[in-house]
Structure 1
């Protein structure tokens, strides 16, 4: 008898709740939301070339940890896989692009090829600091026809360094990491002669 009473009370409560909900209907007007997102959240430059080409902009490089090497700045590009022997990248590492090893990829800094003359290898710990890079240009697939790189069957990577500043400035940057890892970066630009120093 008690069980039956509980069942009746439960069913009555359910029906009472259902009638209350049906009485409070609200009709809203249709809403249209439109937006245009920049490619790569504004960190990638749009490319219109008829080839696979990616560019890592200065804004994207600034968001990277400065303890990393130049290869680790390309870790989010499509078709590019990077690895490092340690967290800082100081002890080397490597890169594969669409299945090609780093010794099959032409690498240049400001247009000058830097692949090893004997085995075409590239050593990421010997490349330029991230603070001195303006952009990284990556061509996946066959290399560019105007790139003077021997053995670049798997594509090419071009590092563009930051030019000197028009005005005098002094830049200091300190980075810290685990296991007492730290890096101090100093840069001084004199600017044009005849202008006020620092």
Structure 2
């Protein structure tokens, strides 16, 4: 399978898993689980425009730290926006090509595609935004992983990142 085909073959797979919902914390630090009715009320309180604004923030080019922080909160049961956090990593290609760790970049890319699609807002502009953020995330990983790389390692990592980016730009679908 070509890198381009493999890079996107699993992007459209959606997970039906729903995270546990948690309510406000008690003074003792424990959390209160909310009922499905309460969760539906909370979700209804957030408009589509508010959710889209938050999605734009989480998928912007330099938004990886915000996305990571928000993902940790989701894992702890806090996601008022009810985003789809499912991912298959780098979609049937290595999450670690040549030892370069691209899993988080791929997970954030999946997050952008899946949530814009679920909101019926996956335009060419949003696709480009998510794809460009994907490249930026991988390039940042190339620059920071394991301290200083040799120049050869850095160039190799950036070259692989560009190939992954080219694959999603070419094969990523708007449907």
Task: With the length of structure 2 as denominator, give the TM-score of the two structures.
Answer: 0.24
Q: Judging by fraction of residues, say which structure has more helix.
A: 2
- Higher RCO (CA < 8 A, seq sep 6+): 2
Structure whose alpha-carbon radius of gyration is higher: 1
Q: Judging by fraction of residues, say which structure has more strand.
A: 1
